[in-house]
Amino acid sequence: MVSIAVMVHRRPGSGPRSSYITPEGAKRLRDELSHLWSVERPKVTQEVADAAAQGDRSENAEYIYGKKRLREIDRRLQFLSRRLDELTVVEPKNSIDGSVRFGAWVEVEDEDGAAAEYRLVGPDEFDASKGWISIDSPVGRALLGKKVDDEVTVRRPKGEIVYTILSVRYEPGEQKPKRE
């Protein structure tokens, strides 16, 4: 497998990004929001209250750390709430013409014959270790709309690379599809 290190995780508010997400990705974000709100935040709030009851807050490490963690949780909750409102859940479906679209598993081969397989997902769910790349990444943008046997050129910091598309499949799920 070829690994491509051209994906950049953008911080919230750092520029435009796609508003598409797979059903699995949306569920993960909703689950994180729910966990932070119903489990993590109440736990940290109680820890802060307990630490505050000990007296002098200026040198109370548990209190200071707890307040900091609470602010981090609140920022993440705010981001997730806003982002979930902006997102459009897209169910990956076979394209009529066989072209690469959102949610597709795409197998490619480079000029040296090294193969790689990627799933095109939204920027909120990419995970290079799973082979999931953002449709906003250079590779993702190059693959969108292409078909089997098409060649795509991707600019990378260490130079251009040409990929040939070997297959395009639409299968939901966390794992790469099993090959027959």
Residues 24, 172 contacting (CB under 8 angstroms): yes
Which of 121, 166, 125, 114 shows the shortest CA–CA distance to 139? Answer: 121
Ordered structural domains, the chain, with CATH: 20-89 (1.10.287.180), 105-169 (3.10.50.30)
Which of 135, 143, 136 shows the shortest CA–CA distance to 99? Answer: 143
- Global confidence as pTM: 0.76
| pLDDT digit string, tens, across residues 99-146 | 999 999 999 999 999 999 999 999 999 998 999 999 999 999 999 999
Q: Which two tokens stand for residue 161?
A: 């690379």
Phi then psi dihedrals of residue 75, to 5 deg: -65, -45
Distances (CA, A) of 5 to 26, 128, 154, 158: 25, 9, 12, 10
- pLDDT(14) > 80: no
Instruction: Count, in order, helices (H) and strands (E) of the chain.
Output: 4, 7
